[in-house]
Amino acid sequence: MSLPIRNVAIIAHVDHGKTTLVDALLKQSGVFREGEEIPDCVMDSNTLERERGITILSKNTAVRYKDILINIVDTPGHADFGGEVERVLGMVDGCILIVDANEGPMPQTRFVLKKALEKGLRPIVVVNKIDRPRANPDTAVDKVFDLFVELGADDDQCDFNTLYASGLDGYAKEELEAEGINMEPLFEAIIHHVPPPAGDVEKPLQLQVTTLDYSEYLGRIVIGRIHNGTIKAGQQAALYKDDGSIVKTKVSKLLGFEGLARVELKEASAGNLVAVAGFADANIGETITCPDDPQALPLIAVDEPTLQMTFSINDSPFAGQEGKFVTSRQLRDRLWRELETNVALRVEETDTAEKFLVSGRGELHLGILIETMRREGYEFQVSQPQVIYREVSGQPCEPFEYLVLDVPEASVGSCIERLGQRKGTMQDMQTATNGRTQLEFVIPARGLIGFRGEFLRLTRGEGIMNHSFLEYRPLSGDVETRYNGVMVAFEEGTSTFYALKNAEDRGVFFITPGTKVYKGMIVGEHNRPQDLDLNVCKTKQLTNHRAATGDELVQLQSPVDMSLERALEYIGSDELVEVTPESIRLRKLSKKLAKR
């Protein structure tokens, strides 16, 4: 007898409408009461997710349709958060692949879809945003089929079910010419094309931990899927640790998912997704099992990090002025605490107590960690991101990325030239009828460090750039990523309009008049290859004479706004980013100015 449960993951590239489509499913399933205020992007509950419009942490919700409980797992669309993807795909039996009707499958789609196909999941393809003016659903479906073949999908997976939808308008339909009414066709597709969960209720309990949460009342909460057996509130259970040890404990609370809320359960059996309290020492990948017959499930395999940087305590002249947590012990404790939930992260101690080597999937992965810590009140500094080299078959290799650019026709030549200098190899070029061109490259990961800001300048802010990890390949030689030097303040003080105006022809500034600076702080980009020491605190000498230009309005050029991601991409090997709850500053590595 099949269980009245369906466990399904939603896969999509960034900004292809995944979260909006989930909103429509929730609204039409009766989760919200009549008259209740319904928020947008309800699954993106994290503050950073709402600000950036992306999914960072995987989350799950549940809806009921015709007495069948549908557990929906929302996965991140960015390859940098692949650690989230890999662990939650083990919780589901099927997946919904959402692609934009205009863009088709994109690099991040490729990454997550490959993981899903490797696990044997059979996707339901939803072509979203068909109400857009330039939508081309048929071409999008053809591209999806080509991608399935390229990723090695079997015949059954290639024979996918296709729906056409508009998450914003809240409808899905099986035929493109049919009228869209509601999301019922998608609910029906889930019921008929996603198999019920496998698992034997009679076998000993096996529940794999895939996500960790925390409650002030219950302590650590583990979330996962029951693969076999039954779990009851208050029962004795055992935690099978990754080192082979077994810790016996008690299930203090058992929770299930219903809409956006967690509901208390007395019992749950194989196939269910549940949250369990009482396992204070549990880590991701470990198994909650029967104490009389403990049996562990295989640990979750996660791809290794490709990028690393050094986190260290802030030793600038402004150290300790803005942060709440500033010591090496506090920094160490916070990084080790992050390891409990962030399975794709690695932290190593160095030969000094003030520095830690942190490795992750990419700049965005590490950037989100830095931004989160900064908002929590931590003050520290980080070095330039460096790729992690590996030895494959006795040969030194480096990570390569698959890069897709969508650029105006006028910018094609300059983008190809600049990526060629960064050791990029063009794989394909397609020109659309709207005057834009799609370029595909394979490029070393270190060739992409610092390219985003340059790309925005080359395309005047009109370009779209996406990339994902491809594979490790032999070293590609030297890659030059920055051509200009920096302007460095050589004394401590407050920058003045007069000094910045006089040096305006030397380059572009990152600061405004009135900014406090110190010796060694980077204040702008020089328009020549070498660094320039600059006095930005110089004031105008006052006299009795009135200047002839005294009544003229003098304006400064707009400074470059150095966001955290831009700063991480920009800095060189002899530079650091100083991160505090209030400021992002760039500085030279040592207090004495480093000369190139």
- Looking up residue 223, the CATH number of its domain turns out to be 2.40.30.10
pLDDT of residue 547: 56
pLDDT of residue 56: 39
Domain final residue pick, 166, 193, 220 = 193
- Looking up residue 402, the CATH number of its domain turns out to be 3.30.70.240
pLDDT at 382 exceeding the cut of 50 = yes
Q: How confident is the model at residue 75 (pLDDT cuts 50, 70, 90)?
A: confident
β-strand 436-444 against 486-489: which pairing, if any? unpaired
The domain containing residue 160 runs over which residues?
5-193
Number of structural domains, the chain?
4
pLDDT of residue 314: 92
CA distance 484 to 423: 19
Same domain, 101 and 187: yes
Residue 336 included in any domain: no
Residue 111 included in any domain: yes
Q: How confident is the model at residue 458 (pLDDT cuts 50, 70, 90)?
A: confident
Cβ atoms of residues 165 and 172 within 8 Å: yes
Q: How confident is the model at residue 39 (pLDDT cuts 50, 70, 90)?
A: very low
Same domain, 415 and 528: no
Q: What tokens were used for 285? A: 């990948």
Residue 372 included in any domain: no
CA distance 402 to 417: 17
Helix ranges restricted to H, 259-411: 328-339, 363-375
SS3 360: strand
Cβ atoms of residues 309 and 386 within 8 Å: yes
pLDDT of residue 46: 46
- Looking up residue 62, the CATH number of its domain turns out to be 3.40.50.300
Would you list the DSSP string of 390-447?
A: EEETTEEEEEEEEEEEEEEGGGHHHHHHHHHHTT-EEEEEEE-TTSEEEEEEEEEHHH
Domain final residue pick, 264, 289, 314 = 289
- Span 216-266, pLDDT tens digits: 778 778 888 899 999 998 889 999 888 888 888 889 989 888 776 788 889
More confident residue, 3 or 151: 151
pLDDT of residue 115: 78
What is the average per-residue pLDDT within 30-57? 46
Distance separating the N- and C-terminal Cα atoms of the chain: 72
- Span 388-414, pLDDT tens digits: 898 888 899 998 988 888 888 889 999
Same domain, 177 and 235: no
Residue 342 included in any domain: no
Q: For 457, which DSSP code? A: H
Lowest mean pLDDT segment, chosen from 52-66, 188-202, 437-451, 500-514: 52-66
Cβ atoms of residues 445 and 403 within 8 Å: no
What percent of the chain stands above pLDDT 90? 22
Domain final residue pick, 248, 274, 289 = 289
- Give the residue ranges of the annotated binding site for GTP: 15-20, 128-131
What is the average per-residue pLDDT within 561-585? 88
- Span 111-149, pLDDT tens digits: 678 878 888 888 999 999 888 877 889 888 998 998 888
Same domain, 463 and 502: no
Same domain, 169 and 36: yes
SS3 118: helix
* Longest alpha-carbon distance in the chain: 97
- Give the residue ranges of the annotated binding site: 15-20, 128-131
- Looking up residue 520, the CATH number of its domain turns out to be 2.40.50.250
pLDDT at 342 exceeding the cut of 60 = yes
Same domain, 217 and 276: yes
pLDDT at 48 exceeding the cut of 60 = no
Residue 344 included in any domain: no
Same domain, 173 and 240: no
Residue 250 included in any domain: yes
Q: For 329, which DSSP code? A: H
Lowest mean pLDDT segment, chosen from 140-154, 529-543, 551-565: 551-565
Instruction: Give the chain's mean pLDDT.
Output: 82
pLDDT at 273 exceeding the cut of 80 = yes
Same domain, 25 and 165: yes
Same domain, 128 and 87: yes
| CA angle centred on 369, ends 363 and 372, rounded to 5° | 135
pLDDT at 93 exceeding the cut of 50 = yes
Same domain, 567 and 468: no
What percent of the chain stands above pLDDT 70? 86
Return phi, psi of residue 329, to 5°. Answer: -65, -45
Residue 319 included in any domain: no
Same domain, 96 and 59: yes
pLDDT of residue 381: 94
pLDDT of residue 478: 80
Residue 580 included in any domain: no
Same domain, 236 and 280: yes
